[in-house]
Chains A and B, each alone.
Chain A
């Protein structure tokens, strides 16, 4: 069961325990206990007492049946530990004794002579998952916290190189292109003396190239990444193999989609960027093994048109259909060729109102952000029609980076630290040519962030905190990824990757990073039904 946050601000319809906050005169954001926030927990001051009481009940329950508790602990799926009130409630639901009105916490099923939980109690329990407004209090703070993790340099040349890179970027921002050009020359020279094994040294060369391209093209930007769709797919595939970021994205999204499709016989996945369809064999196989049998699966894959007459989308669809057939999953594929996501219209997807829809976006939404913040910008349009499809789930994976700031220097600095961390992580990869091609893949991203502008700059990454605000504002609410997804992601890392990667839970989302720096964030969303939406329209 997936858990969600209600974005409704008036939760008075649920139990009386929220009545104090709905009658509070302070807006909820300011009511958050600041000290607990510093410890990573979000609790409203007005709710502290209730949370404390429920913790006490929980402790009593734990004390009464410690053996059961231990067993249940390993089976339970937990969500969003930062939201203490919700978390304690979910534990109470799993473990606690019923309120005094019930005679016993377990009844014996007379037919099977098995002990079952008193299901009548759990259904009627008035304190089952509280719905809380998305808390936005410290998102700005978490935004700032994500700005950088420094690479501490212990070499003279390394520091000088970074200084020069920054100075050069500042010159570019202020328009002093002649100084910028001479700095490029100096840096090329310096590069030969720098240790290119460690993070900054390795990635500096790419940043020098990108800066140089930017300077010599003028500010108009251009098509830097002239790679064909075919090339991009190859690079993507090697990036997929060389490091766990994409595997994590696919794995986590599939897990959430699988859960969202539970109980549905007709399901439809819309993939915003099919590539080689790497994500889908695992989902097809998981659906094949579903208790009760697989649903009818439709997959609509969006991708760029093939220039040479090949219908690459269809080829991939055929391969997936072959796989589905081999595991007895009824499958239908449709390819939608579009050079840009914003060119896709919902009617092209042919969504049937009776089917459960999953919209899957792996590092695509940021491409819609565009340079102007106009009213009907592509992101608004697309989010709006996604909402119109009323998907059971929308899985969103994005780079955990702030590469869409208006100021060039800020963007440049962010990118320098982000990609040096990513390159650091790539050092752990031992297979070639995967590693070399993965580096080119990343290099192209760097090139786009640094040397492109306007519509050519598509790599407009924004951090999770910003996506949360944006998606909530567009009428979506978060579906929380739980402890089971976390555990499985951790296991995946152990199996497929070197030491050093870590998964972290962040308010219902999962982030994968290199050591303690998150680099990629996965989240899941659901459209708020129109009649439920109490949010202001702006």
Chain B
């Protein structure tokens, strides 16, 4: 095996569970999905240096879970003072994180993502806001992007997330799988609206296209993921009747748009060498470069999807270092 045993068990279990939830007719057993998803509540008590609390949007019921380093907490009463900015002098990065799950699975309060966000806080000394978005097939494109955009605007407008002498919210967008796709699209919306995003971190982002690439054919079914399930998720997310060259799926494809001249944030794109959709991710990197946008590719040769869920492999540590460097290079 190329992955540690516990990682293999974790991801295989997801694969089996997800197979149970997807129906061949394109519908989805949401009840079963919620039943099986392991969730954790927020915790205002610091655990390993991080505490969290939830903000729920009254209108939509969507959750934003905010993670902060425990130095921020008013230790006596476990109250977060939401009057003050994060810091008046230093810059404290705020990472808006979109969880993965192929637009269909998981939530901000899923255990795997809660754990991951906590690690991000410690590694980057950042505040992380993990965002819930409406999922497919119940809610198709562009719901996830709209929700992501709303979350970004919410984050940008919180005075208690501001930092630095310039008193603004220093935002990075991040996401894995579908979350990476959402991060890209929200960044485009932000750039078009003149809302500043300092950087994008895309962890094996979910892209695709109508044609079948070499990596898809070579790796189909080899490392947890099949083309068949990828197709299912696109059919569930894209508007009915659309194909995979829809720009949401294939941003630099035949129906894609150029980002030339757009104030797009710098990007860190992480590609797992055993991910069958890597050709699309590499095409995305090329697409960004062609538009003159700043992009760094981190290609992890022997990594499979989900390598970052458990800190038991070199790729995980390499990733964390890269993310840390990507963010801290702006702090000076």
Contacts and interface: CB of A to CB of B under 8 A. Distances in A.
A48 B5 contact: yes
Given A84-B9, A145-B43, A55 B16 contact: yes
A147 interface: yes
Contacts of B19: 62, 69, 73
Contacts of A78: 32, 35-36
Interface string A49-89: 10110011011001000110110011000100110100010
Interface of chain A: mostly helix, strand, loop or mixed: helix
Interface stretch (B96-104, B178-186, B286-294, B309-317): B309-317
Interface string B27-54: 0010110111011111111010000011
- Among A48, A144, A145, A516, the one with the most B-chain Cβ atoms within 10 Å of its Cβ is A516
Nearest to A51: B9
Given A144-B43, A487-B35, A38 B115 contact: yes
18 contacts: A35-B310, A39-B38, A39-B111, A39-B115, A39-B309, A48-B9, A52-B9, A55-B9, A70-B23, A145-B47, A146-B41, A149-B41, A149-B54, A153-B82, A159-B82, A483-B31, A483-B32, A515-B63
A162 B112 CA distance: 33
Contact of B38 (A52, A62, A82, A149): A82
Interface residues of B, number: 54
A40 B63 contact: no
A150 B61 CA distance: 17
A504 B36 contact: no
A149 B13 contact: no
Interface residues of A, number: 64
A61 B62 CA distance: 37
B56 A515 contact: yes
B10 interface: yes
Contacts of A56: 12
A162 B82 CA distance: 13
A67 B19 CA distance: 11
A491 B20 CA distance: 20
Contact of A152 (B10, B15, B55): B55
B177 interface: no
B241 interface: no
B78 interface: yes
A156 B159 CA distance: 13
A282 to B, nearest CB: 21
Contact of B16 (A39, A62, A150, A413): A62
A150 B83 contact: no
B84 to A, nearest CB: 11
B80 interface: yes
B109 interface: yes
A84 B13 CA distance: 8
A163 B78 CA distance: 10
B211 interface: no
Shortest 10 CB-CB distances between A and B: which pairs?
A40-B38, A40-B111, A150-B53, A150-B44, A73-B20, A486-B35, A487-B31, A35-B310, A55-B12, A38-B115
Interface of B: 5-6, 8-10, 12-13, 15-17, 19-21, 23-24, 29, 31-32, 34-36, 38-45, 47, 53-56, 61, 63, 66, 76-83, 109-112, 115, 309-312
Contacts of A84: 9, 13
Contacts of B13: 41, 55, 84, 88
B14 to A, nearest CB: 10
B24 A48 contact: no
Given A41-B38, A91-B16, A500-B61, A49 B54 contact: no
A166 B77 contact: yes
Contacts of A499: 61
B6 A35 contact: yes
A413 B39 contact: no
Contact of B53 (A58, A149, A491): A149
A36 interface: yes
Nearest to B8: A52
A81 B21 CA distance: 14
